[in-house]
Amino acid sequence: MSIRPAGVCLIFALGVAAAAAQARGVEDMPPPHFSISIQGTGIAGKTLELDAPPYSKTVVESLGDLTVELTPRQDTNPNGRAVVRLLRNYEGARVLLHTAKVAGNNQGKWQLAYLICNDAVTFMSPAPQPMPGCRP
């Protein structure tokens, strides 16, 4: 039994159409959104709103002497994680304060928070509403 050339073309066309529809579905999904709140001793409360499509580069956002780095999921593993790093600039050097790995395959919005009281860093996921403050 042999496949006629017209049949091969039809099978190929259906495969291309299915792949295009699948790719279009992935492109139509909004990128994961991260809402990261930071507050604490000497820090006016601030919320960073960051979009991080999978496989994109690290997103960096600064807030005074603090820096948030968000690295989206970089693999095809459905259980892959995005990485959030909080750094502080001390006399020209960046010091890592905290690293969090959060589920990176959700199509929705993550609400994360950092509370920095003196030298203590508390990470919260999901971010509580309202945000707690530092104790005197």
- Render pLDDT for 74-105 as a digit per residue (tens, 0 to 9): 776 667 788 999 999 988 899 999 999 987 55
- Asked if 37 and 123 touch (Cβ cutoff 8 Å), the reply is no
Q: How far is CA 39 from CA 15, 22, 70, 111, 114, in A?
A: 52, 41, 18, 14, 7
| Token pair for 29 | 């999904």
Domain extent, residue 8, equals 1-30
Q: With 50 as the cut, is the pLDDT of residue 9 above it?
A: no
pLDDT interval class at 44 (50, 70, 90): confident
Task: Report yes or no on 131 lying in a domain.
Answer: no
Residues 58 and 26 in one domain: no
Per the structure, the count of domains in the chain is 2
Q: What is the per-residue pLDDT for 5? A: 54
Tell me, yes or no, whether 3 and 62 share the same domain. Answer: no
If asked whether residues 49 and 100 sit together in one domain, one would say yes
User: Within this chain, do residues 49 and 99 fall inside the same structural domain, yes or no?
Assistant: yes
